[in-house]
Amino acid sequence: MIILGVILAILGFVLAVPVLWTIGIILVVVGLVLMLLGSAGHAVGGRAHYY
């Protein structure tokens, strides 16, 4: 999810498409939050690890 978000953010920035930029940033933030919760030992969506 983080990689997809970075790719969309870069494409949105380069191609000047604000929707892609916004979706990319949101995916990066959500991916980082899920990764931090998973690495802290909290179950995310019924899974102990998120990757």
3-state secondary structure 1-51: CHHHHHHHHHHHHHCCCHHHHHHHHHHHHHHHHHHHHHHCCCCECCECCCC
- Is pLDDT at 38 greater than 90 in this prediction? no
Distance CA 11, CA 6 (A): 9
Distance CA 27, CA 48 (A): 20
pLDDT in tens, 5-31: 899 899 999 998 899 999 999 999 999
